[in-house]
Amino acid sequence: MNDKDIREKLQETLQVECEQLEKDLHWQEERLEPLTSSFLSAQFACSRNLISHYMSEFQQKGLVIKTNTRPVYFFWRKSLENRFGVILKAELYETLEDLKNILAKKQQHAFHNLIGANDSLSYVVEQCKAAISYPEHGLPILLQGPTGTGKSLIAQLMYQYGVEMEILSKDSRFMTMNCSEYANNPEMLMTNLFGYKKGSYTGAEKDTQGLLALADGGILFMDEVHGLKPECQEKIFLFQIKTY
């Protein structure tokens, strides 16, 4: 195999192995063997020094995490983060236990106690994590479901998850707007969303920030958004397009 083929095969192997790691973190030594340079060198018929060279390049690019152990274990960062729902800050961990402790701690995230988080709602939870984690400012997300099914709770847990993962600042805000209160008053909706300047209307005695500004860096949860008139929904949609 040529240089490019080896790099691609190394990436593919690490990705597959990390995606299949047991979430209980009870990894046996033989289970981790495919993540060692000795296994990979035999697998692709090249020297261990060459494998280590490739891994160093991957690590410098932030693609690979390794342990300072004997043997050294190499993990494909993105696959490991997706598997355990974490964002790992370091590229090197002194021991395997150090890495596993981080993974175990981060698994107890905001969604942990949500009924169905690991079952019927697992796909929803993963989508919420992906939306809040998306570079650089997350993604807008539409929560749909009958009244009383927990949409507000999901929104709050997304915010808590963002703070826990250090995606959102601890000083960021979770703001809620009940859109049903403005269904027949689109002007007041726009005023509360975007704020107003002093003197813009009777009673506007000072410049006031809107909810969008107050929630900047955090989350604005717009409940009952379906109750808004189409022209109001369009303005919100246009704001999202220009922002993202």
Q: Please report the pLDDT score of residue 113 as a whole number.
A: 80
Whole-number pLDDT of residue 1: 78
Q: Which pLDDT score, from 0 to 100, does residue 92 have?
A: 96
- Alpha carbon distance 228, 174 (integer Å): 21
Give the per-residue pLDDT at 136: 78
* Three-state SS sequence of 145-213: CCCCCCHHHHHHHHHHHHHHCCCCCCCCCEEEEEHHHHCCCHHHHHHHHHCECCCCCCCCCCCECCHHH
Mean pLDDT by 10 residues, the chain (244 residues): 91 96 89 96 94 95 96 96 86 95 76 85 90 86 90 94 86 93 85 86 84 93 89 83 66
pLDDT at 243: 65
| Coil vs helix vs strand at 65 | strand
State residue 107's pLDDT score. Answer: 60
* Predicted local distance difference test score (pLDDT) of residue 244: 53
